[in-house]
Structure 1
Amino acid sequence: MISSSAEPAKLTKSAIKRAQRLARIERKRRERVEARAKAKNGDPLTPISPAHQNEVAPEVKPEEVQRPEEPVQPVVAAASVPPVEVVAAPSAPEIKANGITTKPTSQDPLPPSQPPKPVELLEQLVDVPAVPSIPELKEKLLPESVKAATAALVNPSSPQDAERVKKRQNALTRTLWSLIMIGGFIGLLLLGHAYMIILVILCQTLVYREVTALFSLKKAKPETRDVEIHKKDPWSKTLNWYFFAVTNYFLYGESIIYYFKHVVFADANLLPFATNHRIISFTLYTIGFMGFVMSLKKGYLKQQFGLFCWVHMSLLLIVVSSHFIVNNILEGLIWFWVPASLVICNDCFAYIWGITVGRTPLIKLSPKKTVEGFVGAFVSTVIFAVIWGTYFMRFDYMTCTVQDLGVNAFSGMTCKPNPVFVWRVVDLWPPVSACLSTLFGQSVKTISYAPYQIHLLTLACFASLVAPFGGFFASGFKRAFDIKDFGDSIPGHGGMTDRMDCQFLMGVFTYVYYSSLIRVNNVTVGGILQTIVSGLTIEEQLELIDDLRRYLESQGISIS
């Protein structure tokens, strides 16, 4: 017998055939025993079959002969073969009526009588050697997997128990890998901005691979008969990754030039790439476009153009979104860490509230989402955002714009904080002050706050009310392709796309919100250097240096 938590072993064809052969042997053995029993009783109604008249019982070892006092053991069906039970027909008894003795014919119903017991039949056949029983043959011939499957058929586990065990295992796996991902996320955060950027690029690469893999280039009918049809376009995957590389070169090149002007424009080797970055990017894209046109084949045109559009939409939704997330990291880790945490928090609380009080379905694309979980997650995320963001805004490492990719959490990074992180004091309205004073038992006339806390409320509302629709979009995408997950790169969570669907939307909103309402456009050394290098000739640059030297000397600063 196997435990109820284990699923029955799947039988092979050879095991099923072996079980069927054993069942046939047992059936023939029973027929022989019944035939001999009827022959000894002299039953005229059931003659011995001609096939069994000259049959000789097989020789067996003495230890394998069944004892007369043991009852005939029932057949245990192996695998999927049902047990065949043959019951010997009792001999027709004589009936006396009015002094006349008659025997019933085969058409007459037999009178109720007690059938002979198996022990009585064995006593009559004590001198006949018996063949080995099915349990003995099964013990000798069947492998362990077949024995386990037979035991599972005799004592099957309930489907509810199996489903419960499966859900428990999935929950444990999901929880374990969630903790691993959170721990790795925090570890990379402490290591510095460069490691977080590498993490984002790795995630976008996995997502791009999973999404583009959904579009398979199927074989089409030839448009003309003189065209050789191949099963797969050999250039499809190459062009996919070529466009991916070119897009990353353009977008991340723009970020490097913008945030590290003081390094790029001061290096003679990097200067040509910085000043001609966009024309280089466009040239690379044009080469890929020409390669795509040259790879077109009759019979595959619809599939190839469909793949071309598929790749460009994937680049727009995945790579461009990742580019904005990287910009958030360079503007300050807090603009990446806190929004990403809010999405994770909202997802967790939506699940908790949903399984606790969820009753009303929210959207058909995600049947497990409930209105109660959606509302409960919104309230929980707003509270969490204020507490979580207020704690991390105290650290310069989280709020400073990156100037050096080599810094980490232990480098002692300092900077002039953005005004949104500076605490302010506001006077309360007298009625409100009176109520708070009565409530707390002391005078409360002012309250301190940071503008960042107000921005946190906006981010929390977006993470709770809008970002989940990125997940709904991904759910509809999976339903369109009849798949459960985008991949299996993360055990218990599916693919990377299943985890990043809401993060992309949240990252784009955070960048747009920050660059529009929060960013302070100060004059930087890198910006001035970019203007000098790209806008002044060599003679004008030398003249500027002389003017700057005279100014510094007039201020009492000597330049050697």
Structure 2
Amino acid sequence: MSRPRRSVQFQHRGSNGHHGRRPSISETSEGLSEPGSPGPRTMNGNSEKEPKPQTEYEKKKETFITRTIWTFVMIAGFFAAMFAGHIYILAIVTAVQIVSFKEVIAIANVPSRAKNLPFTRSLNWYFLGTSMYFLYGESVIYYFKHIVLVDRILLPFATHHRFISFMLYVMGFVFFVGSLQKGHYRFQFTQFAWTHMALYLINVQSHFIMNNTLEGMIWFFLPASLVITNDIFAYICGITFGRTQLIKLSPKKTVEGFVGAWILTILFGFAMTNVLMRYKYFICPANDLGSNFFTGLHCEPNPVFLPQEFTFQPPLLLHSPPRTFHIAPMQFHILVFASFASLIAPFGGFFASGLKRTFKVKDFGESIPGHGGITDRMDCQFIMGFFAFMYYQSFIAEYRASVGGVIETAIQGLSAEEQIEVVRGLTKYLVGQGQVGDGVFECLAGVLPRRRR
């Protein structure tokens, strides 16, 4: 027998305005619930508790807490890697460029079409691997010639590196043309162009960031810190006295915040440069990838880090004697670095904002909780690192003969007999200077064959 509906109160319909209407399922289920039951039941008898929706304030608070925690995690990881050694920074840069490439490629991907073209994603990653092989090889050969060129296995790869890289790219190009399918031409060529744009904007610029690290930790840390602090100062100045909108792509950016951050970034750059110049670990090239902050590095400092005497004539005191002061030239160069980080690098972020608006996405990904994707945090760093390398090579770097350069010249420009003569001549010179004993020269003279006349 069916269970009687004792709790249904028909006399209350009038008060609720339900005259002439059949009660709804929810109303009937409420009437069927037993007195003292924990709550409404679903059709299978399980209790159903709807979660209380979060208010806008609670959502912002949760996002702020998550964002803050992960900000400190990233900062701690960054400093730990920097003090641990150059190799760890190179590993982080490698991971960043791979994830950023993945995020940028993903926003232009059309999954329904990619499923019909199984080699589309494979080609994207193939071109990434080819470009990384070329760029990493260029850096290794340039900075570690004294190791690569004397190794019998690595020498052929070093001497023919660019040809090997070109052939790898050509293989991918031929495979792409062979994989073109009718009805998908537009999508495939769009992916091809998009992949190469991502390689240029991410991998090529990351390559120069890696070179900055090998030239000296200061050339990596200083540009990166200038961009980060400029972003923080722009936010603080913007919410404090910002009134005038700067650019429509980023409505929250203000002119007052932009200018205020520029001034504060210059002051920060002066202070940070003064600290970093005192440690050879930061100013010396990475001639030993096994070193860290505690073991340190040893080198002859670049003159840009050494205090020099400058004479200054105050324009309003023409009849007074000139004033002399001592300052490292790097303190003048930091004006350019800080100005670029404040006035030009933010346009990398504006470019990324326009890209996201084009594809109607809020973030490039969800790699970092509370922050979005890696690309969202690195959009300004790529162009800043590229600038730092170009400026350093143009105005700061010293071009002196290196051990690797001499070995490369001897290998490529001299015959085997001439190379032996160079070894014999250098040994004789070192004996004469008292750097090595006479026994070394006699030993080499008995082992090395004499040059044919």
TM-score bracket, shorter-length normalisation = 0.7 to 0.9
Structure 2 residue 105 is matched with structure 1 residue 212: yes
Structure 2 residue 326 is matched with structure 1 residue 448: yes
Structure 2 residue 300 is matched with structure 1 residue 402: no
Give the TM-score taking structure 1 as reference length: 0.70
CA–CA distance in 2 between the matches of 1:147 and 1:265?
A: 70
Compared CA separation, residues 198 and 432, structure 1 to 2 (3 A): farther
Compared CA separation, residues 286 and 430, structure 1 to 2 (3 A): closer
Give the match for residue 10 of structure 1.
none
Give the match for residue 79 of structure 1.
none
Question: Do the aligned partners of 1:217 and 1:233 also contact (CA within 8 Å) in 2?
Answer: no
1:431 deviates by: 8.1
Give the match for residue 316 of structure 1.
200
**Selected match of 1:302 from 186, 191, 204:** 186
Question: Do the aligned partners of 2:245 and 2:252 also contact (CA within 8 Å) in 1?
Answer: yes
Give the match for residue 339 of structure 1.
223
**Selected match of 1:471 from 320, 328, 349:** 349
1:134 deviates by: 8.3
Q: Equivalent residue of 1:296, what SS?
A: coil
Please give the residue correspondences for 1:187-266 in structure 2 after superposition, counting only pairs within 5 Å. 187-217=80-110, 231-266=115-150
Residue deviations 1:476-515, cap 9 Å, x none?
Answer: 0000000100000101110000000000010000000000
CA–CA distance in 1 between the matches of 2:384 and 2:9?
A: 70
Structure 2 residue 47 is matched with structure 1 residue 163: no
Compared CA separation, residues 140 and 400, structure 1 to 2 (3 A): closer
**Selected match of 1:386 from 257, 264, 270:** 270
Compared CA separation, residues 212 and 429, structure 1 to 2 (3 A): same
Give the match for residue 30 of structure 1.
12
CA–CA distance in 1 between the matches of 2:371 and 2:82?
A: 22
1:391 deviates by: 0.7
1:30 deviates by: 3.3
CA–CA distance in 2 between the matches of 1:138 and 1:147?
A: 16
Compared CA separation, residues 215 and 430, structure 1 to 2 (3 A): closer
Q: Equivalent residue of 1:297, what SS?
A: coil
Q: Equivalent residue of 2:253, what SS?
A: strand
Residue deviations 1:338-396, cap 9 Å, x none?
Answer: 11000000111111111222222111111111112111111111111110111111100
**Selected match of 1:546 from 424, 427, 441:** 424
CA–CA distance in 2 between the matches of 1:252 and 1:528?
A: 22
Give the match for residue 439 of structure 1.
none
Structure 2 residue 289 is matched with structure 1 residue 411: no
Question: Do the aligned partners of 1:396 and 1:414 also contact (CA within 8 Å) in 2?
Answer: yes
Q: Equivalent residue of 2:116, what SS?
A: coil
Residue deviations 1:146-178, cap 9 Å, x none?
Answer: 5667xx7xxxx9xxx921222122112111111
User: Which residue identity lines up with residue 380 of structure 1 in the other structure?
Assistant: L
User: Which residue identity lines up with residue 142 of structure 1 in the other structure?
Assistant: P
Compared CA separation, residues 293 and 379, structure 1 to 2 (3 A): same
Give the number of equivalent residue pairs.
421
Question: Do the aligned partners of 2:33 and 2:40 also contact (CA within 8 Å) in 1?
Answer: no
1:542 deviates by: 1.8
User: Which residue identity lines up with residue 186 of structure 1 in the other structure?
Assistant: F
**Unaligned runs of at least 5 residues, structure 1:** 1-21, 35-73, 75-82, 88-131, 221-229, 437-443
User: Which residue identity lines up with residue 467 of structure 1 in the other structure?
Assistant: A
CA–CA distance in 2 between the matches of 1:231 and 1:330?
A: 42
**Selected match of 1:142 from 11, 25, 40:** 40
Residue deviations 1:431-474, cap 9 Å, x none?
Answer: 8899x9xxxxxxx9542211001111110000000000000000
CA–CA distance in 2 between the matches of 1:147 and 1:232?
A: 43
**Selected match of 2:251 from 344, 362, 367:** 367
Structure 2 residue 375 is matched with structure 1 residue 493: no
Question: Do the aligned partners of 1:217 and 1:304 also contact (CA within 8 Å) in 2?
Answer: no
User: Which residue identity lines up with residue 396 of structure 1 in the other structure?
Assistant: K
User: Which residue identity lines up with residue 97 of structure 2 in the other structure?
Assistant: Q
Q: Equivalent residue of 1:408, what SS?
A: coil
**Unaligned runs of at least 5 residues, structure 2:** 21-29, 444-453
Structure ranking higher on relative contact order (CA contacts 8 Å, 6+ apart):
2
Moved more, 374-383 or 468-477: 374-383
CA–CA distance in 2 between the matches of 1:472 and 1:145?
A: 50
User: Which residue identity lines up with residue 242 of structure 2 in the other structure?
Assistant: G
Give 1 or 2: higher helix fraction: 2
Q: Alpha carbon RMSD of aligned pairs, Å?
A: 2.9
CA–CA distance in 2 between the matches of 1:166 and 1:374?
A: 28
Q: Equivalent residue of 1:410, what SS?
A: coil
**Selected match of 2:233 from 337, 349, 370:** 349
CA–CA distance in 1 between the matches of 2:419 and 2:356?
A: 58
Give the match for residue 481 of structure 1.
359
CA–CA distance in 2 between the matches of 1:538 and 1:147?
A: 84
Structure 2 residue 79 is matched with structure 1 residue 181: no
Question: Do the aligned partners of 2:39 and 2:47 also contact (CA within 8 Å) in 1?
Answer: no
Give the match for residue 160 of structure 2.
276
1:301 deviates by: 1.2
Q: Equivalent residue of 1:211, what SS?
A: helix
Question: Do the aligned partners of 2:215 and 2:284 also contact (CA within 8 Å) in 1?
Answer: yes
Please give the residue correspondences for 1:286-297 in structure 2 after superposition, counting only pairs within 5 Å. 286-297=170-181
1:213 deviates by: 0.9
CA–CA distance in 1 between the matches of 2:133 and 2:315?
A: 59
CA–CA distance in 1 between the matches of 2:215 and 2:378?
A: 21
1:413 deviates by: 1.7
CA–CA distance in 2 between the matches of 1:139 and 1:360?
A: 60
Question: Do the aligned partners of 2:131 and 2:199 also contact (CA within 8 Å) in 1?
Answer: yes
Compared CA separation, residues 140 and 450, structure 1 to 2 (3 A): closer
Give the match for residue 329 of structure 1.
213
Compared CA separation, residues 542 and 347, structure 1 to 2 (3 A): same
User: Which residue identity lines up with residue 453 of structure 1 in the other structure?
Assistant: Q
